[in-house]
Structure 1
Amino acid sequence: MSMIPGGLGAQTATPVASQSDQENSAQQLEKWEKTARRAEEAIASQRASDAAFQVLRRELVIWREKFLADQNINKNAIKTLQDQITALGEKPEGEPEDSEIAAKRKMLDQQMAVLVAPVKTAEVAHSRASGLIRSIDEIIRSRQTDALLKLDTSPINPAHWGGALAALGHSFDNLRKETAKSWANPVSQVALKNNLPVILALLLAALVLLLRGRRWSGQIAGKLQAKSVTPARWLFQFLLSIAQLLLPLAGLFLLLEAISISQLLDLHGQHVLEALVFVGVSFVVSVWLGMRIFPPGQPIQPPLNLPIGQRQRGRFFAGVLGLLIGLRGLINDLAQFEKWSQEALIVLSFPILLLMSYALLRLANLLRYHVENEQQTGQDASYRNTVIHYFSRVLGVLALIGPVLAAVGYFKAAQAVTTPTALSLGLLAFLSILNRMTTEIYALIVRSQERAREALIPVLVNFMLVLLSLPFFALIWGARVTDLTEVWARFQVGFTFGDTRISPAVFMTFAIVFVIGYILTRFVQGTLRNTVLPKTKIDLGGRNAITSGVGYIGIFLSALVAISSAGIDLSSLAIVAGALSVGIGFGLQNIVSNFVSGIILLIERPISQGDWIEVGGHMGIVRDISVRSTRIETFDRSDVIVPNSDFISGSVTNYTRGNTVGRLKVPVGVAYGTDTKRVEALLRQIAEAHPMVLANPKPAVLFRGFGADSLDFEIRAILRDVNWSMSVHSDMNHEIARVFAEENIEIPFAQRDLWLRNPEVLKGDNGQGEPE
């Protein structure tokens, strides 16, 4: 038997491995060793630049992915050998083992060592690569922290203002000279003349889209907004609002294309133009977000409870904030392209930073006004309003911190606070819009806005959207893409539990297979419940028991198949599961008892749905039997949840088990002196005349005895349906009262004669014939 190596450092299971495989493995190990030593030297010296560290890190990530894949080589062969070794049993202690079995065990151990060697090599190399990557990340993060905490020039120092203005003027002068040079170039003039019709068409289309596109779509959306909001109308209005975003963006790109075709701008001008396009995109997107969060007019169910004037200010400051973000990017691009000094960049960026902080502060105040308006209108302090309240406070604090840090001289720290705050605010606004969109889509599906607001599915979808947005928030606040990929790589590796590695791929395989099995189980249950079982002679309780049993078996089989498909080895978890089962058994013994009792109820069926029972002092109709408890609906229409163990360990009275025939007792009392035989005949006639009383066996009338106030009789009748016992009892009482009144038979009531032993005491006689 030969095993072909499947990864780095793999060897064959035969005594002599392939020469080419050995050479390939040796070469790969040598290359990895060189890369690892080079990384260790760079980390030890810490003299490499960030770019060099990034290149080295990418190489280490590639090697680590190879090592992770090599950890699964020979997996099936190792499993086969392990099963063979297990089949041989434990090696006897103190006694010689059979020579043939000993030879077989030795051969299997040798083959196992050969197969496991490349896996161990890959595990060691993977651990080494991960450690080197972590060291590089720590160095880069340390450098970023030092840069943020570096004290730079203060922008309020007038000594640097002249140099900053000179740098800005020099950049514009270069742009002017470059444009004039291109205009004077005959080649550019010829190209301009040849492309003039196309340029004019592009400019005209760009101006129309920029100036009128958003207004046209806004007018249509305003007409829809004035009407009652339905899910379909809101979604259509949302699509029109997207047109308000896309049309100006299309105009910007048409304008960029027209200027590019004119060939009037050289390298410097093209760079500035691309930066201006970013400014326009930032402005248009922020205006669109402001229109959705602070809608004009009188919208129904606006995102924030603000009057028209405050919403107008919200739209204004949202647009200003987007424009300032774009201008900040423009200043940074010019500084990098024109090689401005650090002092010039700080001085020219400081006014933008101040305006950005002011806009953030005003938006924070609007959020605070929303919470105050909600309180004034009598709205409760909901979780959403509580979050908005604290968020407005945090937003205001961050808006004030940025300018203070910049004025002191920590300009990079100020930028690391103010700009991410503005971008995070925009991302939160976008998530709020998506939240409303998912709710409206679900309302359109279920055709009810109230159900959509109370449903769980939109909440789960929005929760998933929040989770998906976390990497974007991390990037906004300074995280590197490599940091996120490192987190994802660790997540993919998973963790080891026993001899089993639990990774996202394993979990997804398990989840998908289990969900498929669960859906198939529910489909089979629905088919049995609605199609197959109704055509049989099985009663309702038996059909429910069969359906529930199929559900439990299907879920159990789905879990087993999912575990096997995911490649989880349950044998390695048996000891841990056994230890946990002891503790769980003691802690959950009542739940387990109810579970087992529920299975017994479903199999033996001493009670079924629809039965009239009495258990533990509760009487009512069985409405549902689950695996843990049974729901009983009492006659006053309240539900009683009874643990299933009470039905097994206690006594249960089932009035309708097997059939609905039951006995009714009606007690009657008559006055002393009444003819008892006559009373007996009248009561028998009344019982026999009722339609619910069976003729066979005949109803009986018993003279029970001599009571304190009456002669006691009792009617005993068998009813066709004992569920009508209370109604039959009432009918017989009415008939008894009528017949006894016609026959002058008195129904006595309790009365007592009071004898006074010393009545003279009550008259105030003192015993001498004189009143006291």
Structure 2
Amino acid sequence: MTRLFAALRAATLLFLLAVPAVWAQPEQISYDVWEEVATRAEEAVADADASTEALEALRSEVSIFRDRLLTQQNAGDPRLTTLQSQLAALGQAPEDGSEPPEITARRAELQRQINELQAPLLRAEEAYNRADGLIAEIDEIIRSRQTERLLQRGPGPFNPQHWAPALTSLVQPFTEIASEALANWNSDVRRKALTDQLPLILLLFGFAFLLLFRAPKLIDRLGAWLRNKTRRGTGVWRTLLSLLRLMLPVGGLILLVVAINLGGLLGARGSEIIFVLPLILFVVLVARWLAAETFSTDDEINTIALSQQRRTEARYYVNSLSWLLALNQLFSYLVEIGEWAVETQAVLGFVIHLLCGLVLFRLGQILRHAGPHDLPEDAPQEESAYLSFPSRLARMAGQAAMLVGVVGPILSAIGYFNIAEAMIFPTVMTLGLFAFLLMCQRLMRDIYHLITGGQLDESQSLIPVVSGTVLTLAALPVLALIWGARVADLTELWARFQAGYRIGETQISPTDFLTFIVVFLIGYTLTRLLQSGLRGSVLPKTKLDKGGQTAIVSGMGYLGVFLSVLIAITAAGIDLTALAFVAGALSVGIGFGLQNIVQNFVSGIILLIERPISEGDWIEVNGQHGTVRDISVRSTRIETFDRTEVIVPNADLVSNSVTNYTRGNTLGRLVVDVGVAYGTDTRKVEEILYKIARNHDMVLMNPEPFVHFKGFGADSLDFDVRMILRDVTKILVVKTEVNHQIAETFKKEGIEIPFAQRDIWLRNPEALSGAAQKPAAPAPVSETDPEEHSA
């Protein structure tokens, strides 16, 4: 619990440190005071006897100076840039000394002013490096001490010599408290003071009992009233009321402790210990609240898929862990104030560790069965694939809890008390943190339902993913503190971020990052607005076709993004000159590896400029027919008539032959072939075909249809009808309708459409007469030419 409250303090401290440094005015630094602090820090680092608390205090002072030095280092005089540009305008002094004296004097004066302005910056930079080095040395010493303490082996809990002192130490603090209370009661002065404070004490007792026993029932009634009055958002009210029900009993216990302390009966020892009771109650109530929210009996608010029986067991074990955690907090406090010896802590701590290990192992077994219908541990992979993220997380947490539940008590039994302490209770608090995150994500869904009135579909919405990511990032510092990280470690990460990173000769600070992001977002937004205006207002009023409009809008988007990145880099002051050498070295390899991508990219630009094809065109490429749906810089998406998507690299559209059936217009030619039997009046056939073609709505009369008498075929007289259609995309529909009309008209006029006929001639037919007596080889069959043997 000490780590938990340290985590809360650290979160508050990080929030206060997160105020942008660009808004703070640079504070003047007293280098005399800094020299004194730095000297003391160097002496403490050199002195191996300095306590960890003293080192932490010195580190805090040095860190404050380092932040001020960084602020002063970044807040340079704007005149410095102007002077440097003036000096650069004068150029280098000629080697032969032929420069006019006034130019030489001016150059020297500018250099003198630049040196004066750079002196404070150089001094701040030197002091900053010194402070940074001192902080690194102090952190190294503290970490080494923590590691030594963690690996230190203490007395074993199975030594019988430690059992009797442990039992005596267990009851000794409470015996001393009772003795102090009895002695104070026998004092007339104490009893008179109690009598004077009795009205206030009774009032506090009344409020305390009201908050402890009466307030929960009133909260339940308020929840029932809200559920009856509101049709939606009951999940939000339920969570808020559960938080209120958590805090009110803690407030009642605090009032009760204050009332007891006002009586004056408790001595110094009792006053120290009694104020730990609200903390213990808070731990227990938080655990009960998380257990009720995570393993609820209501299926609608249950975050982990478990059966009702397993949920009940899980709540029982979580409540047991809460009491063990609270008891360990009390024991740790007694050790901290010097009431218990190390041997007593080892014996009593082992009992707590063993009980926590057993409860963690059993709770881990329950969590390993999380999933729909309590999937078994050896469930097939295809069934486990349907587990939700909370259930997967619960299964992994269950396996970790089982491992800690076995290893922790074993380490405590062999004397590694600190390692066991650092494993068991952080595991318990980590499980509580995971449960809190799942509850917060469920609260997000309830808030969405309260605002919109609809249920949040997690499979089709990014809200759960975004909220889960934000909650996870916010929980990382707390998780680090739970597992032993210091507050100084987190503040050091923030200090490193403030210091920035060096790319080449350029130091990129958080202000540069922020400037780059803001400028790029502004440029990107303006580009999208410009594209929207062109697409919706300007281009539709021009004579450009749809493909040309799309090309202009796409080109404007690429140009806008490129300019946004360029302007953002310039505004942030990022000098990428140093990266030119690296880019030059990598350009050859990248050129060979990405030549196809670059080729397609250039081809895409050519397609957007020349526009040989446009969106909506019917084209044929690589044997694929389809409609162009999208043209990007790398590839073109074509939708075939089978409703499949074909991704064609732009290089194929530029270098290969492409047939565009609808380029510029939708006119196209249809050719229908037909044959009639020999002996048919060809003039009559021609007249019928002309009539059919001219009477169709989709056929143009200019140019008019043409009937072509192709010639004399093997089985028929061959004709074809050539028609220009006003919409070539309807070619199959028109062809089908024309064929129907030709078949119906020919049938009505008695014109025969022949089909191929063949005669089969057998050689040596007399050999078939002996087929019944003996098997004979099959006679050769020959197919004669129909021109030699007609039907």
Alignment TM-score, normalising by the size of structure 1: 0.87
The SS at the match of 1:659 is coil
Work out whether 1:66 is the aligned partner of 2:68.
yes
In the other structure, the counterpart of 2:275 is: 274
Which amino acid is 1:199 matched to?
Answer: L
The SS at the match of 2:181 is helix
Partners of 1:444 and 1:677 lie apart in 2 by 81
How far off its partner does 1:683 sit?
0.6
Contact 2:677 2:717 in 1 (8 A): yes
Contact 2:73 2:124 in 1 (8 A): yes
Unaligned runs of 5+ in 1: 1-23
Partners of 1:610 and 1:61 lie apart in 2 by 64
The SS at the match of 1:373 is coil
Which amino acid is 2:426 matched to?
Answer: P
Post-superposition Cα deviations, 1:92-128, rounded to whole Å, max 9, x if no partner, equal 78x7664566666565555555544544443333223
Please give the residue correspondences for 1:416-427 in structure 2 after superposition, counting only pairs within 5 Å: 416-427=422-433
Work out whether 1:205 is the aligned partner of 2:210.
yes
Please give the residue correspondences for 1:404-423 in structure 2 after superposition, counting only pairs within 5 Å: 404-423=410-429
In the other structure, the counterpart of 1:519 is: 525
Partners of 1:270 and 1:388 lie apart in 2 by 41
Partners of 2:49 and 2:234 lie apart in 1 by 61
How far off its partner does 1:633 sit?
1.3
Which amino acid is 1:626 matched to?
Answer: S
Deviates more, 1:715-724 or 1:599-608: 599-608
The percent of aligned pairs where both chains have the same amino acid is: 47
Q: 1:42 to 1:251 in 2, by over 3 A?
A: closer
The SS at the match of 2:620 is strand
In the other structure, the counterpart of 1:379 is: 383
Unaligned runs of 5+ in 2: 1-26, 779-791
Work out whether 1:678 is the aligned partner of 2:684.
yes
Q: What is the RMSD of the two structures over their aligned residues, measured on CA atoms?
A: 3.5
Q: 1:199 to 1:729 in 2, by over 3 A?
A: same
Which amino acid is 1:553 matched to?
Answer: L
Post-superposition Cα deviations, 1:218-255, rounded to whole Å, max 9, x if no partner, equal 8789999xx9xx98444444334334433433443443
In the other structure, the counterpart of 1:15 is: none
The SS at the match of 2:630 is strand
Contact 1:670 1:710 in 2 (8 A): yes
Contact 1:286 1:322 in 2 (8 A): yes
Please give the residue correspondences for 1:432-471 in structure 2 after superposition, counting only pairs within 5 Å: 432-439=438-445, 441=447, 449=455, 451-471=457-477
Post-superposition Cα deviations, 1:711-759, rounded to whole Å, max 9, x if no partner, equal 2211111112112111111100111110111112111223333333444
Contact 2:209 2:252 in 1 (8 A): no
Partners of 1:193 and 1:114 lie apart in 2 by 72
In the other structure, the counterpart of 2:316 is: 316
Alignment TM-score, normalising by the size of structure 2: 0.85
Count how many residue pairs are aligned between Structure 1 and Structure 2: 740
Post-superposition Cα deviations, 1:383-409, rounded to whole Å, max 9, x if no partner, equal 745554443222211112222222222
User: Which of 483, 492, 514 lines up with 1:486 in the alignment?
Assistant: 492
Post-superposition Cα deviations, 1:180-200, rounded to whole Å, max 9, x if no partner, equal 455562443333432255235
Which amino acid is 1:674 matched to?
Answer: T
In the other structure, the counterpart of 1:194 is: 199
Contact 2:194 2:262 in 1 (8 A): no
Contact 2:676 2:718 in 1 (8 A): yes
Work out whether 1:625 is the aligned partner of 2:631.
yes
In the other structure, the counterpart of 2:12 is: none
The SS at the match of 1:374 is coil
Contact 1:50 1:140 in 2 (8 A): yes
In the other structure, the counterpart of 1:18 is: none
In the other structure, the counterpart of 2:346 is: 346
In the other structure, the counterpart of 1:8 is: none
How far off its partner does 1:700 sit?
0.9
In the other structure, the counterpart of 1:334 is: 334
Contact 1:656 1:722 in 2 (8 A): yes
In the other structure, the counterpart of 1:154 is: 156
Contact 1:510 1:565 in 2 (8 A): yes
Partners of 2:452 and 2:227 lie apart in 1 by 26
How far off its partner does 1:525 sit?
3.0
Contact 1:182 1:188 in 2 (8 A): no
Partners of 1:96 and 1:432 lie apart in 2 by 77
In the other structure, the counterpart of 1:753 is: 759
How far off its partner does 1:315 sit?
0.7
The SS at the match of 2:570 is helix
Work out whether 1:704 is the aligned partner of 2:710.
yes
Deviates more, 1:581-590 or 1:150-159: 581-590
Q: 1:448 to 1:503 in 2, by over 3 A?
A: farther
Q: 1:658 to 1:568 in 2, by over 3 A?
A: same
Contact 2:201 2:259 in 1 (8 A): no
Contact 2:205 2:256 in 1 (8 A): no
The SS at the match of 1:452 is coil
Partners of 1:216 and 1:158 lie apart in 2 by 55
Work out whether 1:402 is the aligned partner of 2:408.
yes
Contact 2:693 2:738 in 1 (8 A): yes
In the other structure, the counterpart of 1:126 is: 128
Which amino acid is 1:379 matched to?
Answer: E
Please give the residue correspondences for 1:738-749 in structure 2 after superposition, counting only pairs within 5 Å: 738-749=744-755
Partners of 1:399 and 1:669 lie apart in 2 by 90
In the other structure, the counterpart of 1:11 is: none
Deviates more, 1:135-144 or 1:640-649: 640-649
The SS at the match of 1:71 is helix
Contact 1:209 1:248 in 2 (8 A): no
How far off its partner does 1:286 sit?
0.5
Q: 1:245 to 1:604 in 2, by over 3 A?
A: farther
Work out whether 1:42 is the aligned partner of 2:47.
no
Partners of 1:457 and 1:387 lie apart in 2 by 19
Which amino acid is 2:282 matched to?
Answer: V
Contact 1:188 1:264 in 2 (8 A): no
Post-superposition Cα deviations, 1:269-321, rounded to whole Å, max 9, x if no partner, equal 33323211111100110011111211114x14733332211111111111121
Please give the residue correspondences for 1:576-655 in structure 2 after superposition, counting only pairs within 5 Å: 576-655=582-661
The SS at the match of 1:609 is coil
Deviates more, 1:319-328 or 1:114-123: 114-123
In the other structure, the counterpart of 2:361 is: 361
In the other structure, the counterpart of 1:7 is: none
Deviates more, 1:348-357 or 1:445-454: 445-454
Partners of 1:110 and 1:138 lie apart in 2 by 42
Partners of 1:438 and 1:289 lie apart in 2 by 16
In the other structure, the counterpart of 1:14 is: none
